[in-house]
Chain A
């Protein structure tokens, strides 16, 4: 790609990627609708230059949380600090928001439409035009500038919506399920843009229930279920603290060892390899020694990290029981 994001993003005060600056700080926030508690005593922090994954099943309270962050609704109790300040209308201009349920004006031309959304973020008209050109070129939609929304495919519309969210160069970008309905090439394109924005020091909140996606791009995660936070932290911390001990191995023989329930609590065979979940208190080293002792030949022995999906299912399943 010839175009660099830095060509048209305004130079930011040098933000260290490792910076621990907190962009968003949610403290003990509760929101109810009549008798239904949508968000219950939620606290979380999103740091600059990182991608924060807001995860959870449908109805967990993700959208309500996001709506409070972008000042569409106000919390009943607790407080939300953005860039260290309480929410004001002016702060809204520093946020870019791509809602899950999104749309464009059907009969409006793409260029005009993007300009309108930019104006609503107080972006100067000429600057908006310049950026619209650059962004449309970036997502390869320059030829569609003067077409109406209804003439575009769904995937194209989604790219336009993404542009609408980032056009005013927001410091905080909130993406609610940005990849649904996109083809793999478009997914890769948008994902690349998100990572570029992250590299430029933006804070990105990424809400999804697609765990594979989240695992690929999130630095930090927060898992919500039934309006409560179930766990949060950096992806690495979360994974290592999740005490699941499994080994993927390819081995000839040693069936007795693998079928020993005091060693291996669960065994899953897939084509030429097996995944063995170790029993309580058993170290992977112990299993390795026992297999070696049988004289069996090992071609693969790998510790398996729990996937985000496993964590999600186990945590959400637990609290649902």
Chain B
């Protein structure tokens, strides 16, 4: 950071800032040079921060009334919905907020995949992001167990049982996770504790994520390196603050629609039935945002390999910066990669759909093909594309690419002057 020159205007401010440079930090965040050509796909980082704070605040207030005991959990949630002032509102915000959080994170991730934001020098930002994503899934999974409905209980049973696939120590690990011989009260209380803890771990990682971002600065739609500050950048405040604010409000309208008009549409009716260890629901399904991984898990007939496949599907993302060999960042200038990108999007949507279907017949076949293709994309197509693809010429600056009317024209002009 190069703004050691900032001095606070007031004496009190200077005194404080000399001891803890928060005002310098605030000044840095205000002036932070941001590419001026960022499109709306870049607003999801801010939206995600809003989602995290919303979940923490609503979660905190719910925790004042929720009872993490197998005999009282379901009832305490009903108590919140019926008796606690605005309890129904806070609960529906929290439950739908989780879905909105994942919707935003998937758009955020797919933005990075399209524009090559994971590429050098932003690999660590990307990897921290993957860790945040993993923690989000853990938190969401455990949060879903807390109401102690049928899906809570059986989802917990199925997923914790996966660990028994680990050779030798598997069974012991499962018993250790459960705190007993099946999912029961000890499991519930520890899941509550961990569910409360993880968001704060995520908060810390988000700070690191943003800090790591501020070293190279933001990527941008044309994927070229830019000088900061320059004609190509705008100060974060007010330009990006207001744009993020606008995008956030649009997001909140969608959020409000779910909370107030269709609050249960993303959930599963079976979770309004109290957990019953004697009766298994006809179809155990996780929440929608975990469906693609559920499909991958069930694609593999072997228990251990299914778990390995599911985990690999996430962990493979961590090495993406090294799998993608292309020197060009943005898919705008990679026409062949662009096509494969959209196929990947379709593939993930198909996997999600298959995750909701019974794992048999045509559904299972499609899930298997989609799983194989997913790994093919990362392990074969991306490395090969980097070498084989004929990319489009990239512009020299953002302003040029905007003014010139098209990236090619700008580069052509430059080439012309060069040839003279």
A and B: interacting chains? no
Residues of A within 8 A of B (CB): none
